[in-house]
Amino acid sequence: MKKSLLSFVGTMLLAAPALFGEVSVEKVRKELVTLPFYSIYDNMMFRVDGATVTLMGSVIRPTLKTSAERVVRKIEGVDKVVNEIEVLPLSPFDDGIRIRVARAVYGNNVLNRYAIGANPPIRVVVKNGEVTLEGIVNNEMERNVAFITANGVSGVFKVTNNLRVERRRSES
């Protein structure tokens, strides 16, 4: 009897998002990171509040903004999507900085292992010559190396380092 009650409670907990209209954060994340043309020059974030998903961040293609809203709207349990994603201005100057900063950061011996994979964790966002580094690195040294490397790229006016250091499970 005790085992079947625990099994029932476990099943109810797994079904809770569907029963109570909550949206799966993991489903939203998966839909966003698997969008075609989502690149290291885009940074999308989201917040789930019940059945409402708020999209934030910045992208270089207007179609990516609309695609993100479209795929999130199709997720089961989503009633409303608030799209606050900023489309960065078209600028050959910024495009050049994006490429140079990405090459410098991912070409650095300390950081080049992050370039492996379909979705590298360091995002390079450039707006009007100002670079913002977003994403996650393993330690404070890598965070600082990325900042110094991006700051050394010609044409960059300012670098904002929003890289977060991944928390280890033992530190929790």
Tell me the pLDDT tens digit for each residue of 135-146: 999 999 999 999
CATH 3.30.1340 fits 21-87, yes or no: yes
Q: Which of 97, 106, 111 is closest to 60 using CA atoms?
A: 97
CA distances from 141 to 48, 110, 138, 148 (A): 32, 9, 9, 11
With a threshold of 0.85, does the pTM exceed it?
no
Q: Which CATH class is domain 92-171?
A: alpha beta
3 state SS of 52: strand
Domains 21-87 and 92-171 share a fold: yes
Mean pLDDT across the chain: 88
Predicted confidence pLDDT, tens digits, the chain (172 residues): 444 433 333 333 344 444 445 789 999 999 999 999 999 999 999 999 999 999 999 999 999 999 999 999 999 999 999 999 999 999 999 999 999 999 999 999 999 999 988 889 999 999 999 999 999 999 999 999 999 999 999 999 999 999 999 887 555 5
Q: Where are the domains of the chain?
A: 21-87, 92-171
